[in-house]
Amino acid sequence: MNVPTETAAKPQPWGSGRPYPIAARWYERLTLENGVTRFWEPHVHPLEQANFWHICGRDRDLLIDSGMGIVPLRPSFPDLFGSKEVIALATHTHIDHIGAVHEFEQRWVHEAEARQMAHPSGVTTLVCADIHPQLAALFVAAGYPPFDELLIDAMPHAGYDPRQYRLRGAEPTHLVRDKDIIDLGDRRFEIIQLPGHSPGSICVWEAATATLYSGDLIYDGPLVYEGPGMDLDIYAQSLRRLKAMPIQTVHAGHDPSFGRERLVEIIDTYLRRWGMSDQVQPA
Ligand SMILES: [Zn+2]
């Protein structure tokens, strides 16, 4: 039942509870059907609290994005990251998607963000004061919790110094383009370049299961479409292309997964908000 409230509770700034507790564990993981595992970092501010995805293949595995890199990822999950080859693919190069990419031998990204992966810029620390105040205000207006001192609300272990954290770049070892195929032996994924959130944003499409790994192009939370490297016209065009695809499941870069109905609802909501048509425009 939907009960209208006079005033919504004002969200508390993220991480304002002092002293910072020590997290019982840093990563959460959820095993889905079909050899897919979802990871996330619950103690990271929701703006930067990304999902990343491990997909088990016959010959090699695929890791789509890799979180913030606050705690080493590979040694945390020896059952998934053993001796088998892993392709660490970044949907784009924001801090919450490439943090642990340096731990992997195979580091794949779209060619438009190759330099950004090697030499990250923008948000590269855990200190909220390093986020441009105008940008921070935009994020809060969009619906994210206010910022306090840090982008985390707990420490990964005793003695951790969050001010020493820096996003570590890594040279990509392979550059992907639109329509490239990633073959894991028994399952195939197609790269779809869908820019707007960032110039080299890609989605990963598994046609056999009608599943899209969407990165930050679309998720079931406040979309970030204003900021450095973002372009609203291009973003809208990418959303229209998504709507035309036979997608049944979206595993997104943030927030819970969703199905086709919600996908269409989110796309229509944003296109309407931006005053844009939902018809694919000729290139
Ligand atoms: Zn992003």
pLDDT for res 279: 76
> Ligand 1 centre from 57 Cα, in Å?
26
Residue 22, in any domain of the structure = no
Which CATH number do you get for residue 265? 3.60.15.10
Total number of domains in the chain: 1
Rounded to the nearest whole angstrom, what is the distance from the C-alpha of residue 283 to the centroid of ligand 1? 25
Structural domain includes residue 99:
yes
Alpha-carbon distance of 17 to 131, in angstroms, equals 20
Helix (H, G, I), strand (E, B) or coil at 118: helix
Residue 6: predicted pLDDT: 47
d(CA 172, CA 175): 7
- d(CA 120, CA 169) in angstroms, rounded, equals 6
- Please tell me the distance between residue 11's alpha carbon and the centre of ligand 1 in angstroms: 22
| 16 part of a folded domain | no
User: Along the 283 residues of the chain, how does pLDDT read in single tens digits?
Assistant: 444 444 556 778 999 888 999 999 999 999 998 999 999 999 999 999 999 999 999 999 999 999 999 999 999 999 999 999 999 999 999 999 999 999 999 999 999 999 999 999 999 999 999 999 999 999 999 999 999 999 999 999 999 999 999 999 999 999 999 999 999 999 999 999 999 999 999 999 999 999 999 999 999 999 988 888 888 999 999 999 999 999 999 999 999 999 999 999 999 999 999 998 887 766 6
Q: What is the C-alpha separation between 203 and 97, in angstroms, rounded? A: 13
The alpha carbon of 231 and the centre of ligand 1 are apart by a number of angstroms equal to 13
Residue 66 CA, ligand 1 centroid: distance in Å: 12
Which residue range(s) make up the domain with 200? 28-273
- What single letter denotes the amino acid at residue 88? A
Q: Are 38 and 32 in contact (CB under 8 A)?
A: yes
Question: Does 3 reside within a domain?
Answer: no
Domain assignment present for 10: no
Cα atoms found within 13 Å of the Cα of residue 150, Cβ hemisphere only:
20
**Residue 282 within a domain:** no
User: In terms of C-beta density within 10 A (0-12 exposed, 13-18 middle, 19 or more buried), how is residue 35 classed?
Assistant: middle
Q: Which of 72, 25, 98, 140 is nearest to 253 (CA)?
A: 98
Question: 192-203, pLDDT tens digit by residue?
Answer: 999 999 999 999
* pLDDT single digits (tens) 82-91: 999 999 999 9
Mean residue pLDDT of the chain comes to 94
Alpha carbon distance, N-terminus to C-terminus of the chain: 45
pLDDT in the model for residue 283: 60
Q: How far is the CA of 138 from the centre of ligand 1 (A)?
A: 15
| Residue 6 CA, ligand 1 centroid: distance in Å | 33
Question: What is the CA(40)–ligand 1 centre distance, in A?
Answer: 14
Residue 32 lies in a domain: yes
Q: Residue by residue, what is the 3-state secondary structure of 158-192?
A: CCCCHHHCCCCCCCCCEEECCCCEEECCCCEEEEE
**Rounded Cα distance, 221 and 198, in Å:** 17
Helices (H), the chain: 95-98, 114-118, 133-142, 232-243, 260-273
Instruction: Name all contacts of 267-273 with Cβ < 8 Å and 24+ positions apart.
Output: 267/218, 267/239, 267/240, 267/242, 267/243, 270/223, 270/225, 270/236, 270/239, 271/236, 271/239, 271/240
Q: What is the pLDDT of residue 2?
A: 44
- Asked if residue 6 belongs to a domain, the reply is no
State residue 85's pLDDT score.
Answer: 97
Q: For residue 105, report the distance from its CA to the centre of ligand 1, in Å.
A: 23
